[in-house]
Amino acid sequence: MQNDIRKEILKDLKRVVIKIGSSIISNRDGGRAGLTIGLNADHVRRLAGTIRRIVDRNCEVVLVSSGAIMAGRERLGLSKAHLTIPEKQACAAIGQSYLMHTYEKKFEKEGLKVAQILLGHDDLENRGRFLNAKHTLETLLEHGVIPIINENDSVTVDEIKIGDNDTLSATVACLVDAQLLVILSDVDGLYSRDPSKKSGKKQDAPKLIGHIDHVTDEIEKLAGKSKSSVTVGGMYTKVLAAKQTMSFGIPTLVVNGLDNKASDKIFSGESVGTLFWAGKEKIKTRKHWIAHTLKPSGQITVDSGAKKAIVERGKSLLPAGVVSVEGQFAFGNAVRVLDEKGTEIARGLINYNARDLEQIKGMKTAAVRNLFDQNFYEEVIHRDDLVVL
């Protein structure tokens, strides 16, 4: 039954976000051997092979990779347990470029192009910047590039940070409308009991939970807090990340990536790790959020052709179909879409501010392209950001 669910998820998988924990690409035994833990290029090379195989299945891949601070620590020779914030930021700055350099070299050998995107809390909280990031990611994917995302650690201080890449990867999965988030870390998944705590009784032996369809308070408690010295999040942030993606209709799979075969096992539908998945019925949550949570900042009226395209054919709204514009909205705001009788037919997130839209309403796409050049969007509201009421 659980395997069937996994196979179902994998069957039409076209876009996956994979979170790479620092421990997956570190020289894992460095700590034990008394060395500073650092980046291991061989692990990155192996990862490149795995991603190649996923891409060959006709599936787009977005990576969220940790490891900047770990790599920078090693390069600066900072082995002490606790770093100050400026030290962490310096490590992130030196480590991030080294990390990307390594990714670029190893992925190139597999014929894969990579691109770096560093995101901060602000980029994700602000809807306009959120959409901007989304457009950049979409464009990279269209060109067959593997985006590699990390938090912009070198300029953000702890108080305003996202803080861990589990949370970041969940947000990215929602941002790109992925069909699956895979979190590769050094934990096997969620256990029925903390596996690091010994118990004499056999019946108390911790069991790996293969499938979770609802993140209850009890599950959150089970996840506990982080234990590893290299990773930031531990199981707790993974469970919260899964909760986030599930509410957007995206399954999350937490798997131990220290097993070199883990990814191949995942993609052959083997039952590894813990799958968090409540089923497809929640898929409309994001649209629910657009339609019911956001307060519209303005409204636009569309002609009958555009109405038909939106309502009957599930298309995006283009400038040519816009008849009039009301209100002071900015890029990324929610707006009401009305037909010519004044009935609200849809709501969506707008790609142009009110002033620009006033200028381009009714215009053909080619003319808008000439006018806006770099800030050009083909759609006034993309269909993914549009909810027909």
CB of 125 to ligand GLU, least distance (A): 18
Alpha helix ranges (H) inside the chain: 2-11, 41-56, 68-76, 85-109, 121-125, 127-142, 165-175, 217-223, 234-247, 262-267, 285-288, 304-311, 354-360, 365-372
Structure tokens at 259: 């097993």
> How many binding residues for ligand GLU (CB under 6 A)?
15
Q: How far is the C-alpha of 102 from the C-alpha of 177, rounded, in Å?
A: 28
Torsion, Cα 54 55 56 57, to 10 degrees, reads: 60
Q: How far is the C-alpha of 360 from the C-alpha of 367, rounded, in Å?
A: 9
Nearer to ligand GLU, 70 or 180 (CB): 70
CB of 305 to ligand GLU, least distance (A): 47
Pairing, β 298-302 against β 322-327: antiparallel
CB of 83 to ligand GLU, least distance (A): 11
Site string for ligand GLU, 217-236 (x = CB under 6 A): --------------xxx---
Site string for ligand GLU, 165-184 (x = CB under 6 A): x-------------------
DSSP single-letter state for residue 229: S
Residue 153 interacts with ligand GLU (CB under 6 A): yes or no: yes
Nearer to ligand GLU, 21 or 189 (CB): 21
Q: Residue 325: helix, strand or coil by DSSP?
A: strand
CB of 164 to ligand GLU, least distance (A): 4
Query: In this chain, which of 60, 151, 188, 356 binds ligand GLU, going by CB under 6 A?
Result: 151
Report helix angle 41-56 to 85-109, nearest 10: 50
Query: Which residue of this chain has its Cβ atom nearest to ligand GLU in the complex?
Result: 66
Query: In this chain, which of 67, 189, 273, 319 binds ligand GLU, going by CB under 6 A?
Result: 67
CA atoms 151, 155, 161, 164: torsion sign: positive
Within residues 69-108, the interface with ligand GLU by CB under 6 A covers 69-70
Q: Which residues bind ligand GLU (CB under 6 A)?
A: 21-22, 66-70, 150-151, 153, 164-165, 231-233
